[in-house]
Chain A
């Protein structure tokens, strides 16, 4: 059964550094999402993406964040200048149609020191 994959599984970075989190959505899916979960807190929506455009974003998704689909398979989340409070588990999800089920990846655990 096809699954969403994410790399790396863990990343440690220094405050102020740029990080890129990578996701490979399920191949025939058209809608892509990023969520994050700070330790001990709720899973929070960051952004959704369709047809090479952002379709929804939350207040968390400020100018330090960006998303891109650089090729036909990858979907990336870039954090330009990481802060301590960006430490979290970041989940990618995809869905075949807008109203269909979102399928989640295993997550990338980001630790900012």
Chain B
């Protein structure tokens, strides 16, 4: 069974500090990994996906297949980064399985 684990419910950092939001997964095959973000009173929106290998709003995430992890990192947190962050996975595009499996989410609080 596929599973996404986000061990931290809440991560609180000061502005300018580095941030790492942890995500581990289990999946029999080659999944696609995503980070979605939900700002206060807004909808879920894609932050980044591993296949695009791009940095969005200063965030990066590297897929580590050996450790089955997809941790989200940002070197210098900003107050506007405060939000709920969800790690999610789906089957690779050739599997026909596109349903997203979400982690339980981590709330990031960036204090001034």
Chain B residues positioned under 8 Å from A58 (CB to CB): 99
Chain A residues positioned under 8 Å from B99 (CB to CB): 33, 45, 48, 56, 58
Chain B residues positioned under 8 Å from A101 (CB to CB): 46, 49
Would you list which residues of chain A between 79 and 113 have a CB under 8 Å from chain B?
91, 95, 98-99, 101-107
How many whole Å from A27's CB to the nearest CB in chain B? 17
Chain B residues positioned under 8 Å from A98 (CB to CB): 93, 96, 98
Chain A residues positioned under 8 Å from B97 (CB to CB): 56
How many whole Å from B109's CB to the nearest CB in chain A? 18
Chain B residues positioned under 8 Å from A31 (CB to CB): 98
State whether A99 touches B93 (Cβ < 8 A).
yes
State whether B44 touches A99 (Cβ < 8 A).
no
B10 CB–A CB distance under 8 Å? no
B103 CB–A CB distance under 8 Å? yes
Known: A56-B97, A99-B93. A44 touches B43 (CB 8 A): no
The listed residue with most B CB atoms (<10 A of its CB), out of A31, A48, A104, A107, is A104
Contact for A56 among B44, B45, B86, B98, CB less than 8 A: B98
Interface residues on A, range: 20 to 34
How does the 8 Å CB contact mask read for B38-57 relative to A, with 1 for contact and 0 for none?
Answer: 00001111100100000000
Would you list which residues of chain B between 5 and 24 have a CB under 8 Å from chain A?
none
State whether B102 touches A43 (Cβ < 8 A).
yes
How does the 8 Å CB contact mask read for B81-100 relative to A, with 1 for contact and 0 for none?
Answer: 00000101000010011111
Chain A residues positioned under 8 Å from B69 (CB to CB): none
14 pairs of residues in contact across A and B, judged by CB atoms under 8 Å: A3-B43, A42-B102, A42-B105, A43-B100, A45-B100, A55-B96, A56-B97, A56-B98, A98-B93, A98-B96, A98-B98, A99-B98, A101-B49, A105-B43
Please name 16 further chain A to chain B contacts, defined as beta carbons within 8 Å, in addition to the given A4-B43, A41-B104, sorted by A numbering. A3-B43, A33-B99, A42-B102, A42-B103, A42-B105, A43-B86, A43-B102, A44-B102, A45-B99, A45-B100, A56-B98, A58-B99, A95-B98, A99-B93, A106-B42, A106-B43
